[in-house]
A and B are shown apart, each in its own frame.
Chain A
């Protein structure tokens, strides 16, 4: 099925470890973005990309890196995990910055101990 695929679904990290959250879409969307959602809160934009090779920071970029080498993939890297990064992470893609065709992945629940 067409859509946005995120892996893994669950992850536990120790403080200081690094890891990469994977995100792939097969809808040929130019725009991709990463969000974090803390308990009882809304979505906060971490990083986004408007096309292959182009990325930019969102509202809460510190502690995270991204790259976009292909249209399909937009991985999010945690450089040195901290307990404050415990959250649910969502990847999304869309046709435009306005969000036409906005589709979310199923999320990655990350716990940093």
Chain B
């Protein structure tokens, strides 16, 4: 079944650690996105990609990096986690149409 997968589902990590949030999709979508969402708040775009070796920064990109080496894989890396990074991170993809399919999200807590 075509889908979009995020791992881990939950992560608790210490300040200063480097972390990578994984996102993979099996739908063959060219476009992939990372959003950050705090409880009760709107989604903020972190990074997006329109294809292999193509990445763009969103509004909250300054403290993270992404790569797109394969179509199906779009990992997000925080080089040095801080408590302010505590949030839910949502990965999404889209194909020919504009509608996004979201993964289940990674809930990150930095202590």
Do the two chains belong together in a single complex? Answer: no
